[in-house]
Amino acid sequence: MNDFLPALAAIVGSRHLLTAATDTAPFALDWRRRYQGAPLAVAQPGSTAEVSELVKLCRAHQVAIVPQGGNTSTCGAATPDGSGRQLIVALRRLNAVRHVDTDNNALTVEAGVTLQAAQQAAEAAGRLFPLSLASQGSCQIGGNLSTNAGGVAVLRYGTMRELTLGLEAVLPDGRVLSQLQGLRKDTTGLDLKQLFIGAEGQLGLITAATLKLYPLPSAHATAMVGVGDIETAIDWLNRLRHRFGDRLTAFEVMDASCQQVLQRHHPSLMPFSAPWLILIELSDGGDPVELNDALASWLAEQDMLDGVLAQNETERRKLWTLREEISESQRKDGPSIKHDIAVPTSALPRLVRDCSADLEKAFPGARIVAFGHAGDGNLHYNVSFTRPDNADLFEDEDAVNAIVYDHVYRLGGTLAAEHGVGQLKKDWLVRYKDPLALELMRSIKRALDPDGLMNPGKWL
């Protein structure tokens, strides 16, 4: 082991290998400040070739690897354990835009490119890369792929699985799987890229990807409306789909508690309050005035408690800023037990009604902050104040999770819709996931990573 770090420095360069505790500290703490690790070191390779050599070296010395992108994980997926024997491989130096193919509507980027930079590269070419997240300025494409990120536009464009045409990944033995072709049709066997999307770095290190691009919309119509309950919100979703088809790009909801948190931290952004707020966005080519007028005419025929239709880009941006500030505002408001859950959209009203009732029965006075991507059934359902003054909140986490996840799985849902599993939910996954599905995934893990060196301690 004494020659491991010098050999690693020879691969990535000594200034790209961090070994002091002070230098590694920012990489060892997760975004929520819940998981604190103690890495052996932090290596920052600058090319796929360096990643390959690094992985070979780690295998020879039996050193475990924890891949890390923008370190925005909310589940501890990119945080090492406290043993001091795991190497963080930070991919931020793999930040090249390799190729933009406008005729094929494809963009090839390296894993360390931030989501925002990928969006900007697409826009510079007159195209749209539609994945959109609140953390897009710091999260990276590799992490987006590793968690199968979704965001606000899944309703129209899908998750990263649907947005990925090809992938380059370094396997646990150091070999490089390069399948970056921008093909939309290929029936020559298994679609291997899907093994790595959503695997949270447990099967290999994603180093590059070819992503789908779309025509850059020239028109947006954005509105926020207030309704009396979640049932009405889902009714709005169905009627908007019927009227506007795939021009309906986003459909976000925020409950009353969510609005109260926003009011405390961003009072100037709140246009009004209601039991539930819906943020609606349409997008299309053509004349923006026509699209705005079409949404305005439709809204004029609907029953609502209140509403506002953005008249310009500044007003549109203000509505989206309100949505994007929810997570940070809630973090300022204190800790909460977070759930990134999804059920069929038709089951959302039952989930909200029944689960909230059971939580109130078990923890009188508990606060539930519910918001998210109702258009695709994904709700961020966060619980706090299970005890007065939010004292000892996490002592109640197991009991809260059992109530929430029992309702979710009873309705055919999932406990990890877009944030991944990581360390936070691995034991819960064993409780709820189909045992055969888990066994098949573990078999794949054993086949690709027999030494168990790729991101150990996570859900596989």
Mean pLDDT estimate for the chain: 95
Q: What local confidence, expressed as pLDDT, does residue 74 receive? A: 80
Is the Cβ–Cβ distance between 396 and 334 less than 8 Å?
Answer: no
Label residue 33 by pLDDT band (50, 70, 90). Answer: confident
Note the pLDDT tens digit of each residue in 62-79: 999 999 999 888 888 899
Q: What local confidence, expressed as pLDDT, does residue 117 receive? A: 97
Note the pLDDT tens digit of each residue in 252-283: 999 999 999 999 999 988 999 999 999 999 99
Q: What local confidence, expressed as pLDDT, does residue 1 receive? A: 67
Pairwise CA distance, residues 166 & 209, whole Å: 6
Q: What local confidence, expressed as pLDDT, does residue 164 receive? A: 98
Beta bridge partners of 371: 254, 380
Note the pLDDT tens digit of each residue in 422-443: 998 999 999 999 999 999 999 9
Rounded to 5°, the CA angle 84-172-60 comes to 60
Which of 38-47, 323-332, 440-449 is least confident?
A: 323-332
**Sheet containing 17-18: order of strands:** 17-18, 41-43, 86-90, 64-68
Note the pLDDT tens digit of each residue in 394-410: 999 999 999 999 999 99
Mapped to the 3 state alphabet, what secondary structure does 26-45 carry? HHHECCCCCCECCCCEEECC
Note the pLDDT tens digit of each residue in 113-151: 999 999 999 999 999 999 998 888 889 999 999 999 998
Segment 247-253 mean pLDDT: 96
Note the pLDDT tens digit of each residue in 355-377: 999 999 999 999 999 999 999 99
Structure-derived torsion over alpha carbons of residues 449, 115, 325, 75, reported in degrees to the nearest 10: 0
Note the pLDDT tens digit of each residue in 289-336: 999 999 999 999 999 999 999 999 999 999 999 998 998 898 888 999
Beta bridge partners of 219: 284
Which of 23-37, 79-93, 140-154, 386-400 is least confident?
A: 23-37
Structure-derived torsion over alpha carbons of residues 353, 354, 356, 359, reported in degrees to the nearest 10: 170
Is the Cβ–Cβ distance between 395 and 332 less than 8 Å?
Answer: no
Segment 215-223 mean pLDDT: 96
Q: What local confidence, expressed as pLDDT, does residue 94 receive? A: 98
What percentage of the chain exceeds 90 in pLDDT?
A: 89
